[in-house]
Structure 1
Amino acid sequence: MNTKKSVLLTGGRAPATLELARLLGAAGHRVIVAESARRHLCQHSRYVERSYQVPPPRQQPDAYVEKLCEIMQRERIDLLIPTCEEIFYVSRGRDQLLGFGDVLVERLDVLRSLHDKWLFAEMAREVGALVPQTVRVQSPAQLREAVQQAGGPVVLKPVYSRFAAHVRIIADPSSAAGQSTLPEPTAEQPWLVQQFIKGRQVCSYAVAHDGQLTLYADYETTHTAGQGASIHFVYAAHPQVRDFVTRFVRRHQFSGQIAFDLIENERGELYVIECNPRLTSGVHLFTEQREAAAAYFSRLGNTVVPAGDQTCMLGMAMLTYGIAGLTNKDKAKRWASDLFSARDVLLTRDDPRPFFDQFWMLADLAWQSIRTRKSMIACSTSDIEWNGEEA
């Protein structure tokens, strides 16, 4: 029986995808990458046998799926693993792709419910989780009314968003309700007015097959890119978080990759905030754990968790966003300690090229940002993001 597989990864631009490629490659699997960006981190990794440039999924969804089918057939792919937000377009073409190999993705209706922050809150409540009080608004008038009626600080966010790019925290709702700078939600682009929960932020990442966890990690959010994604990772082994994730995937018989953002308040109560049904940075906690690769293929007899006391980071992000967030001496000491004790997830002795490729990628994004007058973060997802569009 041949245990070595040919795997196709999409989303080669992400550090997490590079980590997964290295993990699979080190375990002896053959890794192919499909990416719509001209430059990406996996392009010259020694663990990637071949890289294909494909049509942008957001702008050309049909051509994108057709190209993936062509690659799967040509490379005799055993398993396709989507990693970034192009996962929704892969899911859209799931039935077509399954004719050429296995695909680690749920149906689009399942992913829609998880990606929609309003619908996901209802799913979380169904398994007994605490969820912040939330109001869905579809007009500026509804938003102002919801903010005005809030009994304390609130968070404003689009129903579909990523990296906390549009999140706003309103500390004093009574004075903010009449501001002209508030967002303007519509029926097509609704927003949420959500109770602000103060406390410890924790993220989780898992892989499941038919409702059973095969891989699991969680980590506390200590350093972030602005208000967005974590850039420093230490396994937290939070029992309440693992219990919620286990119950959620079992209840919904979920198969695929799934990640959650949660907050533990000062009383130890755990609130579930939102879900990312895709690969996230939690995979960095499994570096060099070859047994973790098997978790992506099928159910195992156990759940793989991070081994040892690994601490890792996105080095460039720690230097840029980290320095910008130094507002007092205590934060500076914590930042310096974390910076010098963590490994950079991009820089490895046996695969150094991606570390240097990141500078070309950043230059490319900077040029796109100047040309389009959008933020670099917005440019980084402009060809893959999905905001609930109909199939």
Structure 2
Amino acid sequence: MSRLDRHHVLITFGRSFLTLDLARQLSAAGHRVTLVDSIPIGVGRLSRATSAFYKVPPPKFQPRAYARELARIVREQNIDLVIPIHEETDILAMMVDEFPDSCKLFLSDFETENRLHNKFEFSELLTERGIPSLKYSRVAGPADLAKLDFSAPFAMKEVYSRGSQKVHKVTPGDDLGWLTFDEGNPWLAQEWVGGDKYCSYSVCHEGRIYAHATYPVRYAIGGSSCLTFQSVQHQGILDWVTDFVKDQNFTGQVGFDFIEDPERGLFCIECNPRATSGIMMFRPEDGIDRAFFAENDEIIEPDPDTDRMIGVGMMLYGWRRSAVPDRSLSRFAQLRAFAREFRAADDVITHKGDQKPAWLLPVAYAGILRSCVRYRVGLAEGFMHDHEWDGTRI
């Protein structure tokens, strides 16, 4: 790669392991990487892959100030591409006019981003397109609750929610008096089915996939927020994502959650129109930076032998009964399996030649713990709380 081919990229949410991993991959390809976050020391700031770091306002609570500060940095530092990581994607999609034409924001228009983010609207979209989907219903208040006609267990989750948060399994006849209702963030009741769970991650430009990964849900917080990542080939999922991305003419990073019922087939549960953990399955030698600039002809996929984990997440959650992949095993067998997985998988944080993020992880987490105290939430929620977006228009 010549100097003329190198780009200056700004990546948001500098505390995230996704951001750290992407920064390393882009830096290894010769690009200059600047990170931003609302906490002063994110794990990505400690990496040799990061050329600059800026503390910015929290996007959830100061969305306009956040977007305008990013735009200022873009102008000042001559940024070529902004890659949002978490739900600040929606906020930036509403504020694209703040950014100079010389910089590309790696996302779709707000209407597309929002419809894919909102779990009810995404389910409606699948129905409109004639794509088989799980039974669902919008629950905005007691009247909608009374009309539910599920005859089998179903999930209750807010239409604006994220991995492992506020997902409740409900059996018909259960007392749902504990539900509270937010006019701007109603609930989605969605059929609960059994089967193998998968997640996908794709990098797309104008309806075409340039990089793609699929991984099964194994060790996961609450059974949904993955801690381990093993690359698998699943042609059905790749075909599904290819068709959907083309139909939406989608640009950006996107992840889908799937379940494959042995009798009924493949269903998409929900969509995450942003970066997901799948980015951590790629290695620098895969050249995924080409996908962000639409420079490759063939879809870039991770090595089929990829087996990675978020080590600190495994230590905090992976050994718990709620996180193990096979709950039919005895507790002793579960712990033995966990130990084998922990030894076999590569930690996404440790990296030869870039060990400071791993060594100083407690320092990075101090800022996250401070956010937990400030916002009165747990560690899993506090990690992303000030970067969440729950439908409030700017």
Give the alignment's TM-score, normalised by structure 2.
0.93
Give me the whole-angstrom Cα distance separating, in 1, the residues matched to 2:281 and 2:126: 25
Quote how far apart the aligned CAs of 1:336 are.
2.3
Give me the whole-angstrom Cα distance separating, in 2, the residues matched to 1:371 and 1:298: 41
For 2:212, what is the secondary structure of its paired residue?
strand
Give me the whole-angstrom Cα distance separating, in 2, the residues matched to 1:116 and 1:358: 33
The amino acid across from 1:380 in the alignment is F
Q: Return closer, same or farther for 1:289/1:143 CA change in 2, 3 Å cut-off.
A: farther
Query: What's the counterpart of residue 157 of structure 2?
Result: 157
State the identity as a percent: 31
Query: What's the counterpart of residue 39 of structure 1?
Result: 41
CA RMSD, aligned part only? 1.8
Give me the whole-angstrom Cα distance separating, in 2, the residues matched to 1:290 and 1:299: 13
Quote how far apart the aligned CAs of 1:337 are.
2.3
CA deviations 1:115-168 (Å, max 9, x no partner) are 00011112234454321100101113422542xx31101100001001221000
Query: What's the counterpart of residue 180 of structure 1?
Result: 177
Contact 1:211 1:253 in 2 (8 A): yes
The amino acid across from 2:251 in the alignment is S
Quote how far apart the aligned CAs of 1:55 are.
1.2
Query: What's the counterpart of residue 379 of structure 2?
Result: 376
Q: How does 1:1-391 map to 2 (within 5 A)?
A: 2-146=4-148, 149-170=149-170, 172-174=171-173, 176=174, 178-181=175-178, 183-267=179-263, 269-298=265-294, 300-325=296-321, 328=330, 329-391=332-394
Give me the whole-angstrom Cα distance separating, in 1, the residues matched to 2:267 and 2:257: 9
The amino acid across from 1:169 in the alignment is K
The amino acid across from 2:161 in the alignment is S
Q: Return closer, same or farther for 1:248/1:64 CA change in 2, 3 Å cut-off.
A: same
For 1:114, what is the secondary structure of its paired residue?
helix
The amino acid across from 1:188 in the alignment is G
Structure 2: state its 5+ residue gaps: none
Give the alignment's TM-score, normalised by structure 1.
0.94
Give me the whole-angstrom Cα distance separating, in 2, the residues matched to 1:10 and 1:151: 43
Give me the whole-angstrom Cα distance separating, in 1, the residues matched to 2:182 and 2:304: 48
Structure 1, 216-225 or 184-193: larger mean CA deviation: 184-193
Give me the whole-angstrom Cα distance separating, in 1, the residues matched to 2:53 and 2:161: 28
Contact 2:39 2:368 in 1 (8 A): no
Structure 1, 98-107 or 20-29: larger mean CA deviation: 98-107
Give me the whole-angstrom Cα distance separating, in 1, the residues matched to 2:74 and 2:368: 29
Give me the whole-angstrom Cα distance separating, in 1, the residues matched to 2:130 and 2:20: 35
The amino acid across from 1:342 in the alignment is A
Structure 1, 315-324 or 27-36: larger mean CA deviation: 315-324
The amino acid across from 1:281 in the alignment is S
Quote how far apart the aligned CAs of 1:186 are.
3.7
Give me the whole-angstrom Cα distance separating, in 2, the residues matched to 1:185 and 1:160: 13
Give me the whole-angstrom Cα distance separating, in 2, the residues matched to 1:127 and 1:341: 42
Give me the whole-angstrom Cα distance separating, in 2, the residues matched to 1:340 and 1:125: 44
Q: Return closer, same or farther for 1:127/1:355 CA change in 2, 3 Å cut-off.
A: farther
Quote how far apart the aligned CAs of 1:45 are.
0.5
For 2:190, what is the secondary structure of its paired residue?
strand
Structure 1, 375-384 or 257-266: larger mean CA deviation: 375-384
Contact 1:127 1:248 in 2 (8 A): no
For 2:5, what is the secondary structure of its paired residue?
coil
Give me the whole-angstrom Cα distance separating, in 2, the residues matched to 1:187 and 1:132: 24
Question: How many residues are paired up?
Answer: 385
Quote how far apart the aligned CAs of 1:228 are.
3.5
Contact 1:72 1:100 in 2 (8 A): no
The amino acid across from 1:168 in the alignment is H
Give me the whole-angstrom Cα distance separating, in 2, the residues matched to 1:77 and 1:247: 32
Give me the whole-angstrom Cα distance separating, in 1, the residues matched to 2:303 and 2:12: 27
